[in-house]
Amino acid sequence: MCEAVLRSIGIGLAATLVATVLGTLAAFALVRHDFRGRSAMNTIIFLPMASPEIVMGSSLLALFVAAHQGGRLGLVTIFIAHVMFCLSFVIVTVKARLAGLDANLEQAAMDLYASEATTFWRITFPLAFPGIAAAALLSFSLSFDDFIITNLNAGQTVTFPMYVWGVHQRGVPMQVNVIGTIMFLVSLLIVLGNMMATRRKPA
C-alpha cells in the first residue's frame, strides 16, 4: 500500500507541474491574444471536462495502442493521461483569474518605465498566482483520486485508488482510512492557511 501511495503522489506531483505550466501558458494565450481558432479552442477545452471519464480513458488507451505502446502501459502512460485530463481544469481556472485582472495596473507599471519582464513578474504573476495555485491543487487532487482513466492506461502499475479497489472485496484495511484522513487534514490545513494569510494582508 505504501508503494501505491508514493506512486500516486509522485505521479500527481509530476502531472500537476506539467499541467499547471502548460495550462497557465495556454490560459494567457487565450485571454491576452486574439488568433484564428481561438473560439474553437475555448470549446475544445471543455470537452475533457464534459466527457465521461470512461470515454477519455478508452480514447487515450486507443491512442497508446495506435502508437504501439499498448504493451508498455505503466507510469509514463498514466502520467500522460493525467496531464491530458488535468490540463482543461488548469486552463479554465487560470482563465477565470486572468479575466478578472485589471489591465490598468500593468499599464501603470509600464508607464513608470518597467520592462515587460519586470511588469510580468512584479505585477501580473503575483495577481495571477492565486488562480495558478488553485489550479495546481485541483490538478493534484484529480490526479491522486483518479481511478477510471488510470485503470485503463496503467497496465500492471498499481496506484492508490486501484489498490483500494483491489482490496475492497476482501475488506478495506484500516491503513486506507488513515491515508484518507491524512489527505483530508492536509487539504483542510491548506485551506485554513490560505484563509489566514488572506486575512493578514493589509487592506
Residue 200 has pLDDT above 70, yes or no: no
- Identify whether residues 78 and 147 lie together within a single domain: yes
pLDDT confidence of 15, banded at 50, 70, 90? very high
DSSP state letter for 170: G
For residues 155 and 193, membership in a common domain is answered with no
Supply the pLDDT for residue 71: 65
Same domain, 122 and 29: yes
Number of domains in the chain: 2
Question: Could you list the residue range(s) of the whole structural domain that residue 85 is in?
Answer: 2-169
**Least-confidence region, from 55-64, 94-103, 178-187:** 178-187
Note the pLDDT of residue 202.
52
Confidence (pLDDT) at 99 = 84
List pLDDT tens digits, range 127-169: 888 889 889 988 998 898 888 888 888 888 888 888 888 777 7
Task: Kindly indicate the confidence band of residue 18, based on its pLDDT and cuts at 50, 70 and 90.
Answer: very high
CATH number at residue 32: 1.10.3720.10
Could you tell me the three cell numbers for 55?
470515454
Domain match, 181 and 92 both: no
Sign of CA dihedral 8, 10, 12, 15: negative
Within 13 Å of residue 47, how many CA atoms lie on the same side as its CB? 10
The answer on 177 and 165 residing in a single domain is no
| 182 lies in the same domain as 201 | yes
Same domain, 163 and 177: no
Q: Based on the domain organization, do 184 and 196 belong to the same domain?
A: yes
**Model's pTM, two decimal places?**
0.82
70 pLDDT band (50/70/90 cuts)? low
d(C-alpha 189, C-alpha 202), whole Å: 22
**What are the angstrom distances between the C-alpha of 115 and each of 29, 32, 33, 74, 103?**
19, 17, 19, 45, 15
194 plus 138 within the same structural domain = no
Same domain (yes/no): 196, 146: no
Q: 124 and 197: one domain?
A: no
Q: Are both 86 and 117 inside the same structural domain? A: yes
